[in-house]
Amino acid sequence: MPEYTISTADGDDWPPLGVSRAEALRPRSRQCEILQDDALLRFRTGSTTVEASWELAGTWYVHVDGAPSLEAADRMVNEMADRLGEATGKQAVHHRVTD
């Protein structure tokens, strides 16, 4: 299960989103079923389940389970980072932690 971090490039402790956490992070290009949206954001798209939690100051920690390939997981998290950038009006970055 690949894991990632997502944050704004300037590392805001808690960037104001202006929309719900689910709206700020879920990929727009995929049909997503929101399973949980409180301390943990969890959604399913196809056979893939994604969990995003606020772990460290300025950082979302993302687990992707069941993606068809590592490249597909990378693309999904890239889109999540793009959505965070749109929601905050700041550049967002992501990094794969493990594969």
- Overall number of domains in the chain: 1
| Pairwise CA distance, residues 46 & 39, whole Å | 23
Contact indicator for 7, 15 with CB cutoff of 8 Å:
no
| Pairwise CA distance, residues 16 & 54, whole Å | 13
> What is the tens place of the pLDDT at every residue in 53-98?
887 777 889 999 999 999 999 999 999 999 888 888 888 899 999 7
pTM of the prediction? 0.87
Q: Residue 94's domain spans which residues? A: 3-98
pLDDT at 54: 81
One-letter amino acid at 86 equals: E
For residue 38, what is the domain's CATH number?
Answer: 3.30.310
